[in-house]
């Protein structure tokens, strides 16, 4: 199809939005695009916004390729149709929440109206709430599904729609593909039941927060130590998002009395005016919080993303300077604290387990092995961690789970990453460190001394357009069909191919099956402890290379020396692999 044909098709689709059930403001904006903005018109209508395996995500605006009340309503109608097919002869309940983004409340109310118009009972939060509280609500109220309106840490122009199932986890196979099929059957707002039934919509608010926070309070492992260090200075920022209320509340409930916030960022604002990106993985997002921490002499900095399911932290190093811990480092100190306290408190009975994703640090495996705790590796995505918890329900005890992208969970009453829980336990861990006259940074160094200095790196190689996608696929094919025998003088001793679902031991010359869903991911394990994971992004035009390096650390004093050695090795690796 040439450009002329594409534009003709786009104009025909846009013309349909000038008639029928669309509101007058929408028609006005479509008319403006038709008359004044050819490129904008094409972007808005050249395709339908795709309902993927997790739901919707896209730029807000009019058009079939945009997040608006009509694309949200059509997606919800498809979801309703699937839920009603799955749960016949039963009263169906769902929960709906939303974050601080522009239009999130409107999209959540639209979603609730469509659910209720289809005869489904809806628990709708009265104000913005963290994504993990939506997961908790699904389980608490016995819902069959749930939706949270959020685009996580995407730029302000975006919004999204995450779908959950009755276990409180995000949808996985077979429901993901089946829901997509039902959503694709809805081709017009005329096929959507839009007029809500107010009798089926129940608004939930502060009283439910109290229930949720009480469950998180039960996770505390060292309340007596918090009492000794309740004045620990903690700087917290929600980055204009949904953690604004519940993170300070849970810290107070745990017993902390010296919580310092960043006033400019405590304002819930979908334009995220004080940050370029509301992403706690980005150092600039924590700049104001670190400045406040230096000003007040604080011990710990924590920042949550807009929907408060992920947390980034900054701690003081041995020079007293604040440094950001990456997701693997935070996971290591947090997991080590939780697991060691379970052991110390006599809670380990031999049936406990932890879960991590395959691209997350192997240091977590070493910690699990020390305490004789079972561990699971899953594909990237917290929904797979939730599925492992579900599979083991009633048989084994989940302790904690996490992923390198700053998402963590303890306890099993939530089935998604939870920054409210993580903030509480990270603060508790910092208090325990202080009780031992250590910093969190020194806890990390002690872990490195005991298990080895693990350092992780991520390289994104962007390849745009059709040719870029083909180049990415060729790179994966080359690595898969002609895997390296050695890299920088270190033998490749093991290869995991998640598309073939096979793991190859190159030393023993054996292979075994990988009991995980098929995924286009390759991993190379080297004799010197290096792990290299390669996977194309599912949402962006890039291929990701995850590097996990390891060296022995004789003592804390050798930290800088070994860090520099690992950094140098990493630079040589990416040069060897032609990634720079």
H or E stretch covering 164: strand 158-165
**Pairwise CA distance, residues 343 & 335, whole Å:** 12
Query: In this predicted structure, what is the pLDDT of residue 4?
Result: 75
Ramachandran class of 324: left when φ > 0, alpha when ψ lies in -120 to 50, beta otherwise: beta
Which residues are designated catalytic? 152
Query: In this predicted structure, what is the pLDDT of residue 539?
Result: 66
Rounded to 10 deg, the angle between the 38-45 and 3-16 helix axes is 80
Query: In this predicted structure, what is the pLDDT of residue 473?
Result: 92
Burial of 356 (0-12, 13-18, 19+ CB in 10 A): buried
Query: In this predicted structure, what is the pLDDT of residue 133?
Result: 98
Residues of the chain with CATH 3.30.310: 453-576
* CATH code for the structural domain at 228-451: 3.40.120.10
Burial of 190 (0-12, 13-18, 19+ CB in 10 A): exposed
Query: In this predicted structure, what is the pLDDT of residue 466?
Result: 76
Task: Determine the topology of domain 55-204 in CATH.
Answer: Alpha-D-Glucose-1,6-Bisphosphate; Chain A, domain 3 (3.40.120)
Give the Å distances, CA to CA, from 141 to 122, 124, 543. 10, 12, 40
**Pairwise CA distance, residues 536 & 540, whole Å:** 8
Residues of the chain with CATH 3.40.120.10: 55-204, 228-451
Residue 428: which of 214, 211, 234, 210 has the closest Cα? 234
Any idea what DSSP says for residue 241?
A: S
Query: In this predicted structure, what is the pLDDT of residue 166?
Result: 97
CATH 3.40.225 fits 453-576, yes or no: no
Q: What is the mean pLDDT of each run of 10 residues along the chain (580 residues)?
A: 76 90 94 92 92 90 96 98 93 97 98 98 98 98 98 93 97 94 94 97 98 98 98 98 98 98 97 96 96 98 98 96 97 98 97 97 97 97 97 98 97 98 98 98 98 96 85 94 95 97 96 95 96 87 94 97 97 92
Q: What is the DSSP string of 107-126?
A: HHHHHHHHHHHTT-EEEEES
Query: In this predicted structure, what is the pLDDT of residue 2?
Result: 58
């Amino acid at each position: 199809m040439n450009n002329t044909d594409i534009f003709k098709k786009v104009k025909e689709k846009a013309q349909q939005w000038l008639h029928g059930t669309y509101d007058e403001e929408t028609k006005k904006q479509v008319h403006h695009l038709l008359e004044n903005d050819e490129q904008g018109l094409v972007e808005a209508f050249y395709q339908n916004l795709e309902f993927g395996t997790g739901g919707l995500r896209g730029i807000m605006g009019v058009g079939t390729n945009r997040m608006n009340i009509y694309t949200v309503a059509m997606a919800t109608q498809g979801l309703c149709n699937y839920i009603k097919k799955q749960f016949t002869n039963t009263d169906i309940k769902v929960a709906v929440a939303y974050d601080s983004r522009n239009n999130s409340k409107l999209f959540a109310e639209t979603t609730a109206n469509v659910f209720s118009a289809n005869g489904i009972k809806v628990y709708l939060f009265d104000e913005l709430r963290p994504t993990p509280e939506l997961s908790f609500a699904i389980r608490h109220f016995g819902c069959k599904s749930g939706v949270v309106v959020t685009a996580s840490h995407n730029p302000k122009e975006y919004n999204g729609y995450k779908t959950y199932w009755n276990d409180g986890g995000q949808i996985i196979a077979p429901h993901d593909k089946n829901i997509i099929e039902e959503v694709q059957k809805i081709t017009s707002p005329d096929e959507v039941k839009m007029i809500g039934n107010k009798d089926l919509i129940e608004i939930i608010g502060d009283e439910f927060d109290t229930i949720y926070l009480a469950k998180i309070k039960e996770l505390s492992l060292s309340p007596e130590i918090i009492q000794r260090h309740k004045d620990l200075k903690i700087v917290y920022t929600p980055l204009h998002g949904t953690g604004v209320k519940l993170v300070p509340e849970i810290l107070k409930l745990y017993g902390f009395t010296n919580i310092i916030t960043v006033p400019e960022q405590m304002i819930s604002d979908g334009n995220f005016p004080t940050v370029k990106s509301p992403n706690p993985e980005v150092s600039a997002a924590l700049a104001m919080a670190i400045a406040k921490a230096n000003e007040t002499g604080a011990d710990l900095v924590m920042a949550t993303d807009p929907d408060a399911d992920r947390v980034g932290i900054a701690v003081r190093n041995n020079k007293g300077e604040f440094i950001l811990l990456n997701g693997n480092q935070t996971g290591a100190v947090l997991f080590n604290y939780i697991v060691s306290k379970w052991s110390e408190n006599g809670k380990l009975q031999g049936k406990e387990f932890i879960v991590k994703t395959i691209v997350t640090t192997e240091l977590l495996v070493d910690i699990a092995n020390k305490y004789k705790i079972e561990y699971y590796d899953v594909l990237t995505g917290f929904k797979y961690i939730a599925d492992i918890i579900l599979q083991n329900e009633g048989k084994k005890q989940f302790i904690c789970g996490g992923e390198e992208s700053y998402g963590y969970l303890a306890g099993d009453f939530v089935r998604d990453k939870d920054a409210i829980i993580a903030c509480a336990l990270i603060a508790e861990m910092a208090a325990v460190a202080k009780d031992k006259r250590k910093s969190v940074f020194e806890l990390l160094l002690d872990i490195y001394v005991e298990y080895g200095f693990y350092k992780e790196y991520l390289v994104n190689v962007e390849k745009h357009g059709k040719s870029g996608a083909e180049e990415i696929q060729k790179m994966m094919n080359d690595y898969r069909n002609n895997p390296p025998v050695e890299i920088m003088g270190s033998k490749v001793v093991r290869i995991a191919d998640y598309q073939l679902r096979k793991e190859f031991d190159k030393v023993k010359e054996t292979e075994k099956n990988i009991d995980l869903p098929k995924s286009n991911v390759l991993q190379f394990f080297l004799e010197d402890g290096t792990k290299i994971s390669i996977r194309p992004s599912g949402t962006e035009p890039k291929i990701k290379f995850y590097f996990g390096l390891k060296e022995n650390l004789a003592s804390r004093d050798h930290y800088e020396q070994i860090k520099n050695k690992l950094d140098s090795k990493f630079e040589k690796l990416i040069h060897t692999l032609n990634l720079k």
